[in-house]
Amino acid sequence: MDEKRCEGCNGVDTELEEMLNKYKPEKSNLIQILNEVQEYYGYVPQKAQLAISKYLDIPMAEIYGVITFYARFTLKPKGKYHVAVCLGTACFVKGSEQIIERAKARLGIDVGETTKDGKYSLEATRCIGACGLAPVFTVNNEVYGKATVKMFDEVLDKYEKES
């Protein structure tokens, strides 16, 4: 029986081709493939969506629907430093709104955007499960609890010095 392969899937890069070929071309593998693509690229680029669509023989619209349904997936590249501010109830009540407003002002971007230099991206999250440390923000999944606007500035200053 011939296994379907993604050999030369419309000129996609070798890494993407190898990712696809790890999986049987079955719709049930969509989430696993998207996870791997997201991990590798930092987002799910359109070229990957097209290759997945052809490989699994499912419509692009269905792939787009899955990507936009799950918060884990993103259609845009994130910055080198991905900043996420929790706006869940505990964090919001304890002042996370001031932190996100400071982040927008300092970075010069809105929620869901990336700075022009690709250094920072900003996201508002609903809950990261650290309610006892509220308010909370993260930078590249490093959690900063009992946060203040001053703490936010100090953390960003640290990242500025590193780069």
pLDDT at 1: 38
Q: Which pTM was predicted?
A: 0.69
Domains of the chain: 9-69 (1.10.10), 81-162 (3.40.30.10)
Q: pLDDT digit of tens for each residue in the chain (163 aa)?
A: 345 566 556 566 788 999 999 999 999 999 999 999 998 988 999 999 999 999 999 999 999 999 999 878 889 888 899 999 999 999 999 999 999 999 999 999 999 899 999 999 999 998 888 999 999 999 998 999 999 999 999 999 999 998 7
- Is 16 in contact with 50 (CB distance < 8 Å)? no
Bridge partners of 139, per DSSP, are: 83, 142
- DSSP secondary structure string for all residues of 60-106: HHHHHHHHHHSTT--SSPPPSEEEEEE-SHHHHHTTHHHHHHHHHHH
